[in-house]
């Protein structure tokens, strides 16, 4: 019997780290669908595909030689023979990814790929923006992980600082996070929970508390 834990949420809600921790604790597989959109974007830029050319982007995504591990402790993403695990987190990808994510054909191709990965697993924690609603609406546990804009900005700030070693200005960060939310909301509505989806607001929770709150829902 397959067990699927579906978690959606906006940028900075903490869903990646929370889902990885939960998957690790349960010995489950883990799927970061955002990483797939990022890898698709990396490939389009690498192939010099014009992101405004909808058909060209769809063709590139169709032939995308993507290899994504489902091990929550060793997330490795390769495009062809290139390890893009780190490159897909670069700001140039974050800035362009919504363009690929709002391409209908590209989106459908990636959704199909996500469903295949989920089908192949017996037990998986899958996270993104439309997992609870589109990719795996039949999941046994469906959670929308939210956080106030303030909390999300704070987390993103800490994350970027840790990654780059240099503090970005608050204002630039704020613009980036809110801009991407706005662009993403055109592709899927992840700010409101659909029927049957539980809202977990992490604004005032520590990381551990958020992980435990999600675990409680799985144990039930």
CA dist., res. 7 & res. 19, Å (int):
8
CA dist., res. 133 & res. 130, Å (int):
5
Q: Which residue(s) pair with 3 in the sheet?
A: 123
Pairing of strands 77-79, 82-83: antiparallel
Q: How far is the CB of 142 from ligand CDP (least distance, A)?
A: 14
Q: Is 101 in the site for ligand CDP (CB under 6 A)?
A: yes
And the tokens for 77?
């993403």
- If 0-12 CB within 10 Å is exposed, 13-18 middle and 19+ buried, where does residue 51 land? middle
- If 0-12 CB within 10 Å is exposed, 13-18 middle and 19+ buried, where does residue 2 land? middle
Q: By CB under 6 A, name the one of 121, 133, 180, 210 that touches ligand CDP.
A: 180
Pick 78 or 187: Cβ nearer ligand CDP: 187
Q: How far is the CB of 97 from ligand CDP (least distance, A)?
A: 4
**Pattern 126-145, ligand CDP, x by CB under 6 A:** --xxx---------------
Q: How far is the CB of 165 from ligand CDP (least distance, A)?
A: 19
Which 52-91 residues touch ligand CDP, going by CB under 6 A?
A: none
- If 0-12 CB within 10 Å is exposed, 13-18 middle and 19+ buried, where does residue 69 land? middle
Q: Binding segment for ligand CDP among 52-60, 64-72, 123-131, 164-172 (CB under 6 A)?
A: 123-131
Pick 115 or 217: Cβ nearer ligand CDP: 115
Q: By CB under 6 A, name the one of 28, 146, 184, 214 that touches ligand CDP.
A: 184
Q: How far is the CB of 171 from ligand CDP (least distance, A)?
A: 18
**Pattern 1-40, ligand CDP, x by CB under 6 A:** ----------x----x----------------xx--xx--
CA dist., res. 136 & res. 180, Å (int):
23
CB 71, CB 165: distance < 8 Å:
no
Give the binding site for ligand CDP (CB under 6 A).
11, 16, 33-34, 37-38, 97-98, 101, 128-130, 180, 184, 187-188
């Amino acid at each position: 019997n397959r067990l699927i834990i579906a978690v959606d949420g906006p940028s900075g809600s903490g869903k990646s780290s929370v889902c990885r921790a939960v998957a690790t604790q349960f010995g489950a597989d883990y799927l970061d669908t955002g990483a797939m959109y990022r890898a698709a974007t990396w490939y389009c830029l690498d192939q010099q595909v014009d992101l405004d050319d909808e058909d060209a982007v769809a063709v590139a995504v169709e032939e995308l030689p993507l290899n994504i591990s489902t091990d929550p402790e060793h997330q490795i993403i390769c495009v062809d023979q290139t390890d893009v695990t780190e490159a897909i987190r670069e700001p140039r990808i974050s800035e362009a990814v919504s363009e690929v994510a709002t391409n209908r054909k590209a989106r459908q191709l990636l959704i199909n790929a996500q469903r295949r990965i989920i089908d192949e697993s017996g037990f998986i924690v899958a996270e993104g923006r439309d997992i609870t609603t589109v990719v795996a609406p039949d999941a046994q546990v469906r959670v929308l992980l939210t956080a106030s804009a303030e909390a999300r900005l704070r987390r993103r700030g800490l994350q970027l600082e840790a990654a780059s070693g240099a503090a970005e200005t608050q204002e630039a960060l704020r613009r980036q996070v809110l801009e991407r939310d706005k662009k993403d909301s055109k592709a899927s509505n992840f700010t409101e929970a659909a029927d049957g989806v539980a809202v977990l607001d992490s604004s005032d929770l520590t990381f551990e508390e958020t992980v435990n709150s999600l675990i409680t829902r799985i144990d039930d």
